[in-house]
């Protein structure tokens, strides 16, 4: 399916929603609260555990955003390969088309390929149609590279709007955020601060957000993330937790 035909579906879907608007007012009011709840980690983890990526006890879902990046991603792939660990990569469509060989390499190595949108812009500032087009373009372009349309989506900055929820439903994308992050995008982050920040919030069955590219972060921040990764894998192993992609993370 192309973005164009999807766009037509989206338009008719939207007009159906508008016709049903009066009846749906309470629902829409509740939906407006969703970006707030989904953006604030403690609220999200408590009230939206599925969206936050709370999964199987004893399993940690390892996820990376903002790649692929020829400069940094190959280092992560080598480290993960050496450790026998598979992860989920939420790719930016705009980056994926720049490094198509890298996307195929990631998929070929057994990593789970998901999408982070086409452009890294806050969806709160975009209309429903623009949001839909952004997601559809990312899903189409990444799917063409791997041969399978991605089914998982993580919004830039973790902000889920009503339009994003609707776009995900139309595209067969499941949104997944995270239960713990390393604040690895910050210029002042160190491998130790990344490890400590993740471990502070992480519980058994959690989903961890890191970045394998600095395209939206402080320059060279990926080097700290890369150095933190063995520290994290060792900490999880010491707790008896296994690490893998989100596809292995669902509750039985």
Give the catalytic positions in this structure.
Answer: 65, 211
Binding marks (x or -) toward Zn ion, 134..173, rule CB under 5 A?
Answer: ----------------------x-----------------
Segment contacting Zn ion (CB under 5 A): 35-43, 64-72, 75-83, 237-245? 64-72
Number of shown-chain residues binding Zn ion (CB under 5 A): 3
> Which residues, numbered 179-198, are part of the site for Zn ion (CB under 5 A)?
none
Least distance (Å) from Zn ion to the CB of residue 90? 7
Interface mask toward Zn ion for 17-56; x: CB under 5 A: ----------------------------------------
Q: Is 65 in the site for Zn ion (CB under 5 A)?
A: yes
**Smallest gap from residue 143 Cβ to Zn ion (A):** 20
Q: How far apart are CA 169 and CA 88, in angstroms?
A: 20
Question: Per CB under 5 A, which of residues 83..142 are in contact with Zn ion?
Answer: none
Choose the stretch contacting Zn ion; rule: CB under 5 A; options: 3-11, 65-73, 133-141, 242-250. Answer: 65-73
Q: How far is the CB of 77 from Zn ion (least distance, A)?
A: 19
Question: Which residues, including other chains, have CB under 8 Å from residue 87's CB and lie 6 or more apart?
Answer: 62, 63, 64, 80, 111, 112, 243, 244, 245
Alpha-carbon distance of 178 to 88, in angstroms, equals 12
| Residue 212 binds Zn ion (CB under 5 A) | no
Q: Which stretch binds Zn ion (CB under 5 A): 59-67, 78-86, 134-142, 191-199?
A: 59-67
Binding residue for Zn ion (CB under 5 A) from 38, 61, 66, 191? Answer: 66
- Return the range that interacts with Zn ion (CB under 5 A); candidates 9-17, 24-32, 62-70, 229-237: 62-70
Q: Which of residues 154 and 249 has its CB atom nearest to Zn ion in the complex?
A: 154
Structure tokens given for 227: 């150095």
Helix axes 221-238, 73-83, angle to 10 degrees: 20
- Give the nearer residue to Zn ion in terms of CB position, either 65 or 140: 65
C-alpha to C-alpha distance for 63 and 83, rounded to whole angstroms: 15
Residues lying near Zn ion in the complex (CB under 5 A) are found at: 65-66, 156
């Amino acid at each position: 399916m192309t973005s164009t035909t999807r766009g037509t579906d989206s338009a008719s879907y939207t007009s159906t929603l508008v016709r049903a608007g009066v009846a749906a007012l309470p629902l829409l009011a509740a939906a407006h609260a969703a970006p707030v709840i989904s953006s604030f980690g403690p609220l999200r983890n408590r009230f939206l555990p599925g969206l936050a990526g709370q999964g199987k006890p004893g399993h940690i879902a390892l996820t990376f955003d903002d790649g692929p990046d020829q400069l940094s991603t190959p280092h992560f792939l080598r480290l993960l390969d050496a450790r026998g660990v598979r992860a989920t990569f939420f790719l930016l469509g705009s980056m994926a088309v720049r490094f198509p060989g890298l996307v195929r390499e990631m998929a070929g190595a057994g990593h789970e390929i998901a999408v982070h949108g086409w452009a890294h812009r806050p969806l709160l500032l975009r209309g429903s149609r623009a949001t839909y087009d952004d997601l559809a373009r990312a899903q189409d372009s990444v799917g063409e590279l791997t041969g399978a349309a991605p089914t998982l989506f993580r919004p830039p900055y973790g902000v889920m709007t009503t339009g994003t929820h609707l776009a995900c439903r139309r595209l067969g994308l499941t949104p997944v955020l995270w239960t713990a992050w390393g604040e690895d995008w910050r210029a002042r982050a160190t491998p130790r601060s990344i490890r400590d920040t993740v471990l502070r919030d992480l519980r058994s069955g959690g989903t961890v957000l890191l970045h394998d590219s600095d395209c939206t972060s402080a320059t060279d921040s990926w080097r700290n993330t890369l150095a933190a990764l063995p520290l994290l894998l060792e900490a999880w192993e010491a707790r008896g937790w296994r690490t893998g992609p989100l596809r292995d993370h669902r509750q039985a």
